[in-house]
Structure 1
Amino acid sequence: MRQVEPKFDPAPSRWSYRYQRLMLTPLFRKTLRIGLPFALALGAGIMFFTDPDRQEALIQKVADLREQIETRPEFMVQLLEVEGASAPVEEVIREVFPFKLPISSFDADLDAVRVMIEDLPAVADASVRIRKGGVLVAKVVERQPIALWRVQDGLNIVDVEGVVIGKVLEHPKLMEMPIIAGAGAEKAVPEALSLSRAAKSLDAEVRGLVRVGERRWDVVMESGQRIMLPVDNPQRALERVIVLDDIKDMLNRDLSVVDMRIVERPTIRMNENAADDWWQVSQTTAGAVE
């Protein structure tokens, strides 16, 4: 009997069919082309770097490479230049400068340097930058001394905002500034300056201004006389005193206090000796009339 040979079936097998269907899927192809190599490389890297010695060697190599880059000449700060500051302030800035030059620009904290300079009493504002050539430039705006504030331990120099710049030095220009005193005087410097300018019109010389109760001012003359000004609109009251002094030469009389706290009703207070003399004269006059 003749054996019948099986016919060849051209259809793919079940597994071959599934594989072909998967290969038609874009995600599967990307996984084979990208995901599988990445997973193999990641696994190999993890196995390689689990060795502590290899980890330390890699960290050291990265640190050396970073140091080589940061210490290149074009990244080094060689000099400190201070602009806009007087000689004493510049000297203080150089003394408190926190870094030792030369230093890499990567290690120089410019914000910290700026804050450090602005914390100085004599500095109002500062900016810091690194200029080409390895020069760190600190541009400074100093506070301008406006008045002298008398405190228990001497005289302080203050600016228009009442910030204490420093102690008074023996300097003629400084001693010509208006002198203020009293609690809260440093908080009202602009008003004190305005009153001081107005008081220059007085014939008598002004010694200074005293803040009373942190609310109002007294103008103190070199003779010891005191002009008591009101809380509201003190300059108007002072201008009225100037007019009275021009007309009646009031401040050249034997007065101790001119009280302008009630502007509509100014009051004067005589010195003790003058009051006694006036009393004796009035009694004598009264006796003569009798």
Structure 2
Amino acid sequence: MRALTSRLSRSRAGESKADPAPSRLKYRIQRWMLTPGIRTGLRVGLPLGVLFIAAGSYLASETRRDHLMALYNEARASFETRPEFMVNVMAIDGAGESVATDIREVTSLDLPVSSFDLDLAAIRDLIVGLDPVKTASVRIRPGGILQVDVEEREPAIVWRSRDGLALLDETGAFVAELGQRSLHPDLPLIAGRGADERAPEALRLFAAARPLGSRLRGIVRIGERRWDVVLDRGQRIQLPVKRPVAALERVIAVSEVKDLLERDVAVVDLRLPTRLTVRMNAPAVEDWWRIRQLNESSY
């Protein structure tokens, strides 16, 4: 009995001496595992790392990569070539027959084609790049129709240059070549180098010269600086560099009052805006000198 009691007392003494606290290393490991970043890394980063390693090991083989790429391309092609995504017809509205033919040639679309393979912005740029086209819009309509809406440039003026005759719109943009003047006799005519760049100003001059009626033959750009108004009977109105429209209106007003342009006048010179100079025709000058001599001999 005494021996049993002594053993129990020794075991209790040993238990009282054991330290229940963890060791310093174990404590630091537990605190480290409780860090939010470490916990997130173990929960998310470790599986992702294993996944990346497995994927990298699988894709390390070129044969496997080619096989996956082939599967992807096949799936993509089967999706993009579904009937609801195919474009079968091109419809062009607002363009004449020749312009529509040019549009089909410049776009060079091999229909039917998937809508995923069409760059609508690039197609529009190609169409707008045509000279007769002012604006264009391109869209895909339901039913597999590529709709092209075109606004053509309207010829407003004929430009005669060294290269021949050309049609221009109201801004001076090139529309088309013109074989014969008789094809557009109703359009005003301009000539000279750089005349196309000042087409809007030329149209304002034509509007101001409307009282001249059928006597007006055209307007010539001189030295890329100013205009000459050409009338029948070889008459010219030389306009100044600045404010040519106002100068032309002044000449027409004087002519309506004093019949200036109905006389034997070759040139009305307004290159100096403050001074109007008139040059007579050669026969009129000869008659004037003859009359003057007769008057002097009579005295």
Per-residue CA deviations over 1:28-75 (Å, capped at 9, x if unaligned) read: 443333333222222222111111111110111111111111111111
**What stretches of structure 2 of length at least 5 have no aligned partner?**
none
Alignment check: 8 A CA contact 2:234 2:266 kept: yes
Q: What is the CA-CA distance between 1:184 and the residue it aligns to? A: 1.9
Which residue of structure 2 lines up, in the alignment, with residue 82 of structure 1?
A: 92
CA distance in 2, matches of 1:286, 1:17: 137
Which residue of structure 2 lines up, in the alignment, with residue 147 of structure 1?
A: 157
Which residue of structure 1 lines up, in the alignment, with residue 295 of structure 2?
A: 285
Match of 1:191 among 198, 201, 209: 201
SS, match of residue 128 in structure 1: strand
SS, match of residue 134 in structure 2: strand
Which residue of structure 1 lines up, in the alignment, with residue 109 of structure 2?
A: 99
Instruction: Tell me which moved more, 26-35 or 279-288.
Output: 26-35
Instruction: Tell me which moved more, 82-91 or 154-163.
Output: 82-91
**What stretches of structure 1 of length at least 5 have no aligned partner?**
none
Q: What is the CA-CA distance between 1:174 and the residue it aligns to? A: 2.3
Does residue 174 of structure 2 align to residue 168 of structure 1?
no
Alignment check: 8 A CA contact 2:228 2:239 kept: yes
Q: How many residues align?
A: 289
CA distance in 2, matches of 1:24, 1:197: 89
**Percent identity between the two aligned chains:** 43
Instruction: Tell me which moved more, 123-132 or 247-256.
Output: 247-256
CA distance in 2, matches of 1:223, 1:62: 79
Which residue of structure 1 lines up, in the alignment, with residue 238 of structure 2?
A: 228
CA distance in 2, matches of 1:241, 1:26: 93
Q: What is the CA-CA distance between 1:17 and the residue it aligns to? A: 5.8
Q: What is the CA-CA distance between 1:268 and the residue it aligns to? A: 1.4
CA separation of 1:280/1:79 partners in 2, compared to 1, >3 Å: closer, same or farther?
Answer: same
What pairs with 1:187-266 in structure 2 (closer than 5 Å)?
187-202=197-212, 205-266=215-276
Which residue of structure 2 lines up, in the alignment, with residue 180 of structure 1?
A: 190
Name whichever structure is richer in helix by fraction.
Answer: 2
CA separation of 1:36/1:264 partners in 2, compared to 1, >3 Å: closer, same or farther?
Answer: closer
What's the TM-score once normalised by structure 2's chain length? 0.86
CA separation of 1:194/1:37 partners in 2, compared to 1, >3 Å: closer, same or farther?
Answer: closer
Match of 2:142 among 119, 123, 132: 132
CA separation of 1:24/1:282 partners in 2, compared to 1, >3 Å: closer, same or farther?
Answer: closer
**Root mean square deviation, CA, Å:** 2.6
Per-residue CA deviations over 1:62-94 (Å, capped at 9, x if unaligned) read: 111111111111111111112222222112111
